Amino acid sequence: MNIPAGFSKLNLESSEYLAVNGPFHARHAGDEVSLGMRIERRHCNSSGTAHGGLLMTFADILLTIGPNIQLDLSRFLPTLNATCDFLGAAREGDWIEGRIEVLRATKNFVFAQALVKTAEGAPVMRTSGTLLIRGEPDPRYSEARYFGRDGRAPGDPA
């Protein structure tokens, strides 16, 4: 699978749901955090385009992991609200990518948005969400964990 330069496979907590819907990749360069994925046949609906449910899953991963990395929170961020506007189709073989934009972060909430596009720049989806900041920092949700720099395999105990 051809992945654009600078992207690394995300190491997420063990989840059969995410395993079926991924793999997801991320890039963190300076203040910019982007997530991407290659659309495979198994991600497509009967019309040969990425299923809306897959795109919404991608949006949720983008909205929760992106701010976690960008703001260095290392927390589980439950999604309180997410909206997705489908703007175009992503087809089998397309690389889709979204760059997170944190609009505001308070003690308890993160407000973020992103525009998801194909590698060619065609818009696929606009998404925004509100996330709850809760609990203490947890290494399972750290940038080191997501990028596999802590020496543990996905699913290993902390």
86 is a domain residue: yes
Confidence band (pLDDT; 50, 70, 90) for 24?
very high
Question: Residue 158 domain-assigned?
Answer: no
Closest residue by Cα to residue 63 from 98, 91, 12, 29: 98
**CA-wise closest residue to 42 among 1, 99, 98, 97:** 1
75-90 pLDDT per residue, tens: 999 999 999 999 999 9
Q: Is residue 12 part of a domain?
A: yes
Q: Which domain holds residue 72?
A: 8-146
Query: The domain that contains 108 carries what CATH number?
Result: 3.10.129.10
Residue-wise pLDDT tens digits, 35-50: 999 999 999 999 999 9
- Three-class secondary structure assignment of the chain: CCCCCCCEECCCCCCHHHHHHCCCEEEEECCEEEEEEECCHHHECCCCEECHHHHHHHHHHHHHHHHHHHCCCCCCCCEEEEEEEECCCCECCCEEEEECEEEEECCCEEEEEEEEEECCCCEEEEEEEEEECCCCCCHHHCHHHHCCCCCCCCCCCC
Q: Name the domain count of the chain.
A: 1
Within-domain flag for 157: no
In a domain, 49, yes or no: yes
Burial of 51 (0-12, 13-18, 19+ CB in 10 A): middle
pLDDT score recorded for residue 31:
86
Question: Per the domain annotation, does 96 fall within a domain?
Answer: yes
Is residue 19 in some structural domain? yes
With respect to residue 2, please indicate whether it lies within any of the assigned structural domains: no
